[in-house]
Amino acid sequence: MKKEDLFEALGDIDEEKVKAAGEYRKQMKPVGIRRGIAALCAAAVLIVLTLSGIFTQKPADTADVNMPSEPEPSVTHEPSGRPLEMIKVMAAYPEAAEPDTGTAEFMESDAHWKWMDSMQENIAASRQLQGDMENYYMAMMGKMLEDDDANTVCSPLNIYIALGMLAEVTDGTSRQQILDLLNTGDIETLRNNIHTLWNSNYADTPALKSLLADSIWLNNAYSYKQDTMQRLADIYYASSFSGVPGTEEMNEELRKWTDDNTGGLLHEYVQGLELSPQTVMALVSTIYYKAMWNSDFNPKNTSEELFHGIKGDTKVNMMHMTDLLGVYRTDAFTSIGLSLTDSGAMHFYLPNEGKEINDLVSDPDIIKATKSVYDEHRTNAIVHMSIPKFNVSSKTNLTDVMKELGITDVFEQHTADFSPLSDDTDIYVDKAEHAAMVEIDEHGVVGAAYTALITEGAAEVSEEIDFVLDRPFMFVITGADGSVLFTGIVRNIE
């Protein structure tokens, strides 16, 4: 099955998985991924960091591992004496806002405005970070979106969070290389940034789902430094699971946790997740995102038309709408942005005639176009939009990307410094990959991604324009704070 065929339509989200996510999170006191309106847009991101190593000491007692205060009463053991049953410590997440209220009712209620007011300070603080993150966004897009003829898509924000977790368990030049890529001076600044980004992008209301969750998967034969484990729990809201990596029980729990916390959107990918017996620790981070367009496309206006892709012409379902929008134009591209309810926007970029789509990924105006500030490139216009419904996905070897961007030490046993994690092993990362997908229709967007790091004011309207995405184009999806949640290039539509 092609990756592009995994999610054929927005309504194909597994409602049982979405419901299960809510039930699963009730165990942690988080908000559930509750059943929503099928027309909403959704996205999910999975981050996996698996650490393997060359064991240099005898296995230590597991008392130092982040575990519950009371042991499980009926734990069985393998011949070596290691307990086979997993022990869990679940994180507590913010409560949902009006979880039993319908979307329309919530949007018209005082609770909606109260929630919006509560988010303003967090969003304002995170917006202050976005300028410092632009170099990171551009570096990641430049490495992950270029291709000759295939569709490409990635989630810069979630990779940022994953690399933040990697920085927590490393030190020395291993950590510094990560901080340099993230344009962060020191680990304390990075922690503050992650805290700010988390608070501004976490939302659970009947109209907006932007749910983040993290977990730590521990090998119970080894001890871990408690201050590092506690920091991951405090800053990243990480639940911990301790057991025997490589067993079917632990692999099934890993898949279930990941599947539940992404609403089943990544089920086909999640089934391949597993820990090897050599795994020392795995870090898994997820985001589930679901929001409505501020203005829906009328399905009656959708028509079958041609899309002129790199691989040839194909028939697509083209959505149509006319609206007053801000238009950002440079010598390289024309861009518009469509707002998402209580969130950011999805920005579309059409390269000008004679310009190559790959040139856009290194154009600094791409990020500038996502800002609301008016400059010489931005005007207001009546825009006659023609935007295709699409489903694109891609998978990238993140090992090469990280090395090309300066993160090299963590991949070499003799240079990797994981001393904040444990003194028991020589740990290094030997595999990293990232996969993502985005789908849009008349009502919204579905998106999913994972990263695996494995060892083992209104201006005058002066014109009307046509904005027709009938050839390769780029998109960026932002949060309310301006964080780049997803970005990609659509070169072909099948």
**Domain limits, the chain:** 3-70+82-292+392-454, 299-390+461-490
- Amino acid of residue 98: E
CB 303, CB 350: distance < 8 Å: no
d(C-alpha 407, C-alpha 402), whole Å: 5
Ordered per-residue pLDDT tens for the chain, 494 residues: 333 333 333 344 455 544 444 444 544 433 333 223 333 344 455 555 556 543 333 333 333 333 333 333 333 445 455 666 788 999 888 899 999 999 899 999 999 999 999 999 999 999 999 999 999 999 999 999 989 999 998 888 888 988 999 999 999 999 999 999 999 999 999 999 999 999 999 999 998 888 888 888 888 888 889 999 999 999 999 889 999 988 999 999 988 988 888 778 778 777 887 888 888 888 888 878 888 889 999 999 999 999 999 999 999 999 999 999 999 999 999 999 999 899 999 999 999 999 999 999 999 999 999 987 778 899 999 999 999 999 887 777 888 999 999 999 988 888 989 899 888 667 887 777 777 777 778 877 666 666 656 554 334 556 888 989 999 989 899 999 999 988 989 899 88
Q: Which two tokens stand for residue 272?
A: 């391949």
Q: Which two tokens stand for residue 376?
A: 């010489």
Count Cα atoms within 13 angstroms, Cβ side, for 259. Answer: 21
Give residues with Cβ within 8 angstroms of 489, minimum separation 6: 145, 147, 151, 152, 153, 357, 358, 360, 361, 472, 473, 474, 475
d(C-alpha 207, C-alpha 203), whole Å: 10
d(C-alpha 119, C-alpha 22), whole Å: 22
d(C-alpha 406, C-alpha 404), whole Å: 5
CB 454, CB 48: distance < 8 Å: yes
Q: Give pTM, 2 decimals.
A: 0.82
Count Cα atoms within 13 angstroms, Cβ side, for 79. Answer: 0
Place of tokens 């009502």: 443
Task: Estimate the crossing angle of helix 156-168 against helix 187-201, to 10 degrees.
Answer: 140
CATH architecture of 299-390+461-490: Roll (2.30)
d(C-alpha 85, C-alpha 31), whole Å: 27
State the CB neighbour count (10 A cutoff) for residue 469: 22
CATH ID of 3-70+82-292+392-454, from 3.30.497.10, 3.30.365.10, 3.80.30.20, 3.40.50.300: 3.30.497.10
d(C-alpha 413, C-alpha 396), whole Å: 23
pLDDT of residue 446: 64
d(C-alpha 305, C-alpha 317), whole Å: 6
d(C-alpha 163, C-alpha 287), whole Å: 15
* Residue 206: closest CA among 328, 84, 107, 76: 107
d(C-alpha 233, C-alpha 91), whole Å: 7
pLDDT of residue 358: 93
pLDDT of residue 81: 56
Alpha helical stretches, state H, 72-181: 103-107, 110-144, 156-168, 172-181
Exposure string over 292-316, b if 16+ CB within 10 A, otherwise e: bbeeebeeeebeeeebebeeeeeeb
Place of tokens 């800053």: 235
pLDDT of residue 361: 92
User: In whole angstroms, what separates CA 80 from the centre of its chain?
Assistant: 39
Q: Which two tokens stand for residue 382?
A: 């009546």
457: burial class by Cβ within 10 Å (0-12, 13-18, 19+)?
A: exposed
CB 450, CB 254: distance < 8 Å: no
Q: Nearest 10 degrees: CA dihedral of 414, 402, 398, 215?
A: 70
Residue 446: enclosing H or E segment and its boundaries? strand 445-454
Residue 60: enclosing H or E segment and its boundaries? none
